[in-house]
């Protein structure tokens, strides 16, 4: 057995003990690998950075998806940008009120590799409500005539193919395709390891959307530990929970619950000092 070491921006290194290297390929956009590890099971790696693992992926995917889908006025039409491992689509399609889910992934190799080597993560590929479209999510939000109740941004870090998913022009495109009352849910990096990037994203979102609410949770695979997700929209209120939708999915969740939902929107003190406190009504 050997070790796979992720080196993040020449600042930190995190290693996993490898049982077997299952796949190593390169698309026109990036290098895609799957390794089988002692600690985390099978792990998807993109350009040398750990993306998700069999053992801990639920922490990420459940908190990215469910706060938006239990607080949006409607969830009939959902757009996922990125998410080629299938985990976000799986969580979206747990909701029986979802009629259609479009997943736009820029790199077909990520989808092909995940379907082959990570079947426990992407369990909803054959759901009739899911459409997978290989293409540029940035272009899609500027060109489509469709409107969505929820848009979920499940992208990589803002480098390479993921670079355009974090700028103001992209967020304005998302705002354009949101239906009235629609909600954006985005992974918004770590307030610890990528502190300034996190605050830059929050500032950009606040220039586009009237209401912006970050939430926080663990992703053990990521060396940063604490990760952030953000809900944004004209009217989004994470304190307004649809209890029927929550009850439909909570029994199948491994991490997310009503208690986790409430706790996730509590800001760490250092973040609170730098961000306006959301005006959340007590319910």
Domains of the chain (ranges, CATH numbers): 2-51 (2.30.140.10), 57-274 (3.40.50.150)
Per-residue pLDDT at 282: 39
Per-residue pLDDT at 163: 59
**Which residues in the chain come in under a pLDDT of 70?**
157-165, 276-283
Q: Please report the sign of the dihedral spanned by the C-alpha atoms of residue 157, residue 163, residue 168, residue 172.
A: negative
Per-residue pLDDT at 166: 75
CA atoms within 13 A on the CB side of 247: 3
Q: Kindly give, in sequence order, each residue whose CB lies less than 8 Å from that of residue 126, ignoring residues fewer than 6 positions away.
A: none
Among the listed residues 72, 89, 215, 209, the one whose alpha carbon sits nearest the alpha carbon of residue 150: 72
Per-residue pLDDT at 174: 97
Cβ count near 35 (within 10 Å): 24
What is the pTM for the complete model shown? 0.94
Per-residue pLDDT at 165: 64
Q: What is the tens place of the pLDDT at every residue in 208-240?
A: 999 999 999 999 999 888 999 999 999 999 999
Active site residues: 154
């Amino acid at each position: 057995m050997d070790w796979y070491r992720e080196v993040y921006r020449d600042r930190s290194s995190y290693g996993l003990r490898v049982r077997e290297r299952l796949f190593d390929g390169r698309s026109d956009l990036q290098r895609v690998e799957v390794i089988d590890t002692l600690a985390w099971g099978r792990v998807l790696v993109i350009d040398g950075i750990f993306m998700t693992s069999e053992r801990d992926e639920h922490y990420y995917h459940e908190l990215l998806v469910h706060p938006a889908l239990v607080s949006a006025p409607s969830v009939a039409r959902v757009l996922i940008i990125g998410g080629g491992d299938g985990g976000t689509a799986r969580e979206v399609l747990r909701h029986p009120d979802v009629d259609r889910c479009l997943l736009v992934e820029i790199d077909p190799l990520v989808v092909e590799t995940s379907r082959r080597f990570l079947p426990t993560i992407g369990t909803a590929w054959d759901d009739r409500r899911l459409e997978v479209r290989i293409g540029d999510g940035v272009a899609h939000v500027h060109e489509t005539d469709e409107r969505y109740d929820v848009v979920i941004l499940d992208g990589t870090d803002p480098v390479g193919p993921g670079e355009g998913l974090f700028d103001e022009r992209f967020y304005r495109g998302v705002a354009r395709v949101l239906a009235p009352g629609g909600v954006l849910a985005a992974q918004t990096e770590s307030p610890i390891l990528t502190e300034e990037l996190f605050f830059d994203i929050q500032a950009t979102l606040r220039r586009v959307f009237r209401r912006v609410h970050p939430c926080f949770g663990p992703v053990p695979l990521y060396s940063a530990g604490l990760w952030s997700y953000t809900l944004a929209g004209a009217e989004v209120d994470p304190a307004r929970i649809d209890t029927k939708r929550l009850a439909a999915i909570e029994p199948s969740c491994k991490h997310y619950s009503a208690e986790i939902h409430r706790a996730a929107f509590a800001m760490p003190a250092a973040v609170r000092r730098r961000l306006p406190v959301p005006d959340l009504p007590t319910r």
